[in-house]
């Protein structure tokens, strides 16, 4: 898919990767962009900077009625949705001790919102025999996020759900891509690095920290090829291969990196849980 004359919806568009996708889609000649986020003020500013083809709407993607209305309103205004980008996401920085509320929020934002979006957009896409779902998952969904158990579990679920959609609907014209970046320079990672959170430091030590614009470039390339797995960091493919071929060796390598970053190369037991972290994408 190329973006020329396309109608796209982007959730989590108030900043970071979502706003970079919006700018890049506009540059590619999109016809209309609907930018949805909890943060209406920031999303309005993004829409203004993108130009008249962009429209900002306040939407909580964990509320199915709001997602249904986002889709229905976009279809009423523009006649169709060519591309729905389920990009909103949250990190908690928690381990097993993360509260049920954090587990629940991670599940609802990182997974259930993708289900709500698919339920809402699929009928019209299947009727037209065409449509595209771009789900921002994470390298954590094909690897792990050290220091963030809810993020790891829900991003794995997000990749699994995207793959299920791709297998189920591809032959009816609906294409699906899972965008799985590793470190990206947005508040989600930057706040964690500033707080010295282990998970964020592991990410920074595992490869380049890309700009949101670089991730948007990778998304455009992946959409053009209609590739399921879009990996803006090529090293993630190598890590995933290693993990599949030798899970124990891959885990040992990661534990070694964690020990090194904790400053205790000989340590075999984890230290007490870190202080409440900001994030670990
Ligand atoms: N930053 C990274 O290193 C990184 C790496 C891999 C994947 N990701 C994923 O990329 C996506 C975008 O994250 P980002 O890095 O741009 O961070 P970000 O925090 O700037 O963007 C996330 C956006 O989601 C919005 N959001 C959260 N809950 C919402 C809800 N209930 N309804 C509507 N919007 C909601 C937030 O307001 C925010 O604008 C997320 O899914 C994230 O998990 C980020």
Measured CA to CA, the distance from residue 255 to residue 258 in angstroms comes to 5
Atom in ligand 1 nearest the alpha carbon of residue 185 = 1
Q: Choose, from 116, 132, 151, 239, the residue flagged as catalytic.
A: 151
What does the pLDDT profile of the chain (281 residues) look like in tens digits?
999 999 999 999 999 999 999 999 999 999 999 999 999 999 999 999 999 999 999 999 999 999 999 999 999 999 999 999 999 999 999 999 999 999 999 999 999 999 999 999 999 999 999 999 999 999 999 999 999 999 999 999 999 999 999 999 999 999 999 999 999 999 989 999 999 999 999 999 999 999 999 999 999 999 999 999 999 999 999 999 999 999 999 999 999 999 999 985 433 333 333 333 333 45
Q: Phi first, then psi: what are they for 85, rounded to 5°? A: -105, 105
Pocket test for ligand 1, best of 188, 190, 201, 279 (most atoms within 8 A of CB): 188
Kindly state if the Cβ of 15 falls inside 6 Å of ligand 1. yes
Asked if residue 9 has its Cβ within 6 Å of ligand 1, the reply is no
| Closest CA to ligand 1's atom 20 | 16
Tracing tokens 């037991």 back to the chain, one arrives at 269
DSSP-derived pairing of the beta strands 83-86 and 131-136: parallel
Secondary structure (DSSP) of 172-215 = GTEEEEEE--S-BSSHHHHHHHHTT-HHHHHHHHSS--B-HHHH
Atom number, ligand 1, closest to the C-alpha of residue 110:
41
Closest CA to 115 of 162, 152, 82, 155: 162
User: The whole model's pTM is what?
Assistant: 0.94
User: What is the whole-number distance in angstroms between the Cα of residue 12 and the centre of ligand 1?
Assistant: 6
Which pLDDT score is estimated for 120? 98
Q: What pLDDT score does 266 carry?
A: 38
Beta strand residue intervals within the chain, DSSP E:
7-11, 32-37, 54-58, 83-86, 131-136, 174-179, 229-230
Nearest atom of ligand 1 to the alpha carbon of 20: 16
Q: Are strands 32-37 and 7-11 parallel, antiparallel or unpaired?
A: parallel
CA-closest residue to ligand 1 atom 7 = 138
Q: pLDDT at position 281, please? A: 56
Alpha-carbon gap, residue 141 to 151, rounded angstroms: 8
What secondary structure letter does DSSP report for 55? Answer: E
Residue 151 annotated as catalytic: yes
Q: How far is the CA of 281 from the centre of ligand 1 (A)?
A: 9
127 alpha carbon – ligand 1 mean position (Å): 31
pLDDT at residue 263, rounded to an integer: 86
Which token pair is 204?
Answer: 């920074």
The reply to whether ligand 1 has any atom less than 6 angstroms from the CB of 109 is yes
Instruction: Answer yes or no: is the C-beta of 14 below 6 A from any ligand 1 atom.
Output: yes
For residue 24, the CA-to-ligand 1 centroid distance in Å is: 17
Q: What is the reported pLDDT for 146?
A: 96
Residue 90 CA to ligand 1 center (angstroms) comes to: 6
- Contact between 271 and 261 under an 8 Å Cβ cutoff? The reply is no
- Chain length of the chain: 281
Asked whether 87 lines ligand 1 (CB < 6 A), one says yes
Question: Would you say 113 and 124 are in contact if contact means Cβ atoms under 8 Å apart?
Answer: no
């Amino acid at each position: 898919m190329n973006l020329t004359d396309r109608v796209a919806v982007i959730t989590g568009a108030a900043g970071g990767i979502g706003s970079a996708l919006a700018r890049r889609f506009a540059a590619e000649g999109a016809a209309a962009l609907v930018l949805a986020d909890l943060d209406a003020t920031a999303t309005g500013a993004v829409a203004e900077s993108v130009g008249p083809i962009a429209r900002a709407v306040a939407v909580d993607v964990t509320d199915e009625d709001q997602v249904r209305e986002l889709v229905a309103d976009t279809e009423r205004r523009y006649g169709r949705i060519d591309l729905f980008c389920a990009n909103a996401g949250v990190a908690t920085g928690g381990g097993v001790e993360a509260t049920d509320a954090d587990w629940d929020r991670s599940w609802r934002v990182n997974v259930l919102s993708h289900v709500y979006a698919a339920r809402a957009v699929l009928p019209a896409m299947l009727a037209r025999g065409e449509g595209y779902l771009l789900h921002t998952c994470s390298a954590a969904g094909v690897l792990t996020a050290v220091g963030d158990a809810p993020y790891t579990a829900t991003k794995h679920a997000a990749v699994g759900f995207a793959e299920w959609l791709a297998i189920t609907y591809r032959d009816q014209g609906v294409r699906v891509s899972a965008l799985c970046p590793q470190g990206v320079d947005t508040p989600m990672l930057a706040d964690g690095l500033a707080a010295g959170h282990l998970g964020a430091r592991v990410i920074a030590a595992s490869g380049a920290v890309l700009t949101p614009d670089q991730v948007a470039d990778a998304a455009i390339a992946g959409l053009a090829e209609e590739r399921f797995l879009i990996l803006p960091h090529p090293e993630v493919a190598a890590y995933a291969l290693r993990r599949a071929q030798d899970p124990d060796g891959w885990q040992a390598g990661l534990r070694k990196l964690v020990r090194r970053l904790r400053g205790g190369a000989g340590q075999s037991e984890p230290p007490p849980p870190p202080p409440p972290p900001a994030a670990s994408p």
